[in-house]
Amino acid sequence: MATTLSFSSCLPDSGASTLYTTAFHTTAFHTSHMTLQFLENNWPLILIMIVSGAMLVWPLVQGRFSTVREVGALEATALINRRNAVIIDVREPKEYEGGRIPNAVHLPRSQLASRSHELKKWIARPVIAYCARGQRSRMAAGALTKLGFAEVYTLRGGLRAWSEAGLPVEKGA
């Protein structure tokens, strides 16, 4: 039983080539038209996607260019012991009474601008700002750099991280 193979159907002829080229261009046009139509119909969702992506990337970009650095509890103790860093508690009075880092200066973030004159004597020393969990201290650190402090740090995780590291916390007024 003999089988014959024909290769003539595999070779392109000029008519098939033209038909393929025309089909390709029509498909490419149709695809780009569909893409534009999709973008027009879904621009609010695309805008939300771009904004949320930018919000995710912003902290990384901001951290690279910020003069404020974040330190952990052990790094903070090294700054305190070796460089005589000033610790500033930016929490509100009720929180401060509940416990604080020993020798911390209490200066609530809400009073930072009005009491900035109290800080001028420490302007040459490194400053470590902290709050309960580290959120408010970042804002306070920005204000401290505007006041002229060159070396400003925030305590990563705030007082919570400090106490979880087993470091001393003073209680009472």
| Residue-wise pLDDT tens digits, 62-80 | 666 667 899 999 999 999 9
| Band of residue 84 on the pLDDT scale cut at 50, 70, 90 | very high
| Residue-wise pLDDT tens digits, 10-35 | 555 555 555 455 555 566 666 788 88
For range 119-135, the mean pLDDT: 91
Residue of 90, 131, 141, 144 with catalytic role: 131
Give SS3 for 129. Answer: strand
Q: Is the separation of the CB atoms in 140 and 113 below 8 Å? A: no
For range 101-106, the mean pLDDT: 94
> With 0-12 CB in 10 A as exposed, 13-18 as middle and 19+ as buried, what is 149?
buried
For range 82-86, the mean pLDDT: 95
| Residue-wise pLDDT tens digits, 48-60 | 999 999 988 887 7
Asked if residue 103 and residue 78 are part of one domain, the reply reads yes
> Which positions ≥6 away from 152 have C-beta within 8 Å?
67, 68, 69, 126, 127, 129, 141, 144, 145
Asked if residue 76 and residue 48 are part of one domain, the reply reads no
Asked if residue 117 and residue 36 are part of one domain, the reply reads no
Q: Residue 151 belongs to a domain with what CATH number?
A: 3.40.250.10
The H or E element containing residue 164 is helix 158-164
Q: What is the pLDDT of residue 153?
A: 95
Q: What is the pLDDT of residue 29?
A: 67
- Establish if 118 belongs to a structural domain: yes
Q: For the chain, what is the domain count?
A: 2
Pseudo-torsion of CA 21, 27, 32, 34, nearest 10°?
A: 170
Catalytic (active site) residue 131: yes
- Establish if 59 belongs to a structural domain: yes
Range of the domain at 132: 68-164
- Establish if 10 belongs to a structural domain: no
- Establish if 169 belongs to a structural domain: no
